[in-house]
Amino acid sequence: MGLTSDELVGVALEIEKHGEALYRQLAQRFTDPNIKKTFEYLASEEAEHRKTFEKMLAGGLLPLYPTLEQGEEDYIRSLVQSQFILAFIKTDVLIMDIKSASDAVALGLRMEKETLLFFESISSSLGGEASKIFIDILAEEKKHFVRLSALARDMNAPKGKDW
């Protein structure tokens, strides 16, 4: 039996829910205003995405089954079962490995990259308004990646040096 559209959006919902929780925990952990503000912003963005996916599941926008090319279902199933996506559900475990702000930003970048990979894989398979919603959220997730990348660059830039 194939993956249903509800199952795919359900996974997206879980990713956003746990991403929101992770970013909220990271925001509480750091005092640097730029780092704190970035994680608070990302948590609020993930909360909005979560609400969007909840509405999709409740609103009847989804076809029963997504339109997947041969082999895509196995690929998507593999993504869903990948260690990293499963780790989203264990945000407390992910937090324990964070020793520095650099670690936190690196985790955020990895999380956003995995999210982009999954969302990109399913966005066109849902059709109609549902695909448009995923494409819009994909654009926002790309902005998250860019914002975290800029933060990582800023954190690694030499400070207070006279050149």
DSSP 157: S
- Residue 63's closest CA among 100, 15, 138, 9? 9
DSSP 102: H
**Residue 141 · residue 115 · CB < 8 Å:** yes
At 68, which CATH number?
Answer: 1.20.1260.10
Q: What's the whole-model pTM score?
A: 0.86
Residue 163 domain flag: no
The confidence score (pLDDT) of residue 125 equals 85
Contacts of 62 (CB under 8 A, 6+ apart): 5, 6, 9, 56, 126, 130
CA–CA separation, 71 and 77 (whole Å): 10
pLDDT digits (tens, 9 = 90+) for 65-107: 888 777 788 888 887 777 556 555 567 767 888 899 999 999 9
Which three-class secondary structure state does DSSP give residue 13? helix
Residue 90 domain flag: yes
Residue 162 domain flag: no
pLDDT band at 126 (very low <50, low <70, confident <90, very high): confident
Residue 161 domain flag: no
Residue 160 domain flag: no
CA–CA separation, 5 and 57 (whole Å): 9
Residue 119 domain flag: yes
Which structure tokens are listed for 84?
Answer: 């990293």
Total domains in the fold of the chain? 1
* Mean pLDDT, residues 123-150: 92
Residue 52 has pLDDT above 70, yes or no: yes
The confidence score (pLDDT) of residue 73 equals 82
28: domain range?
A: 5-155
The confidence score (pLDDT) of residue 106 equals 92
pLDDT band at 162 (very low <50, low <70, confident <90, very high): very low
- Residue 35's closest CA among 112, 106, 85? 106
* Mean pLDDT, residues 24-31: 94
Sign of CA dihedral 94, 103, 45, 135: negative
Residue 69 domain flag: yes
* Mean pLDDT, residues 133-138: 94
CA–CA separation, 31 and 158 (whole Å): 20
pLDDT digits (tens, 9 = 90+) for 53-63: 999 999 877 88
Residue 87 domain flag: yes
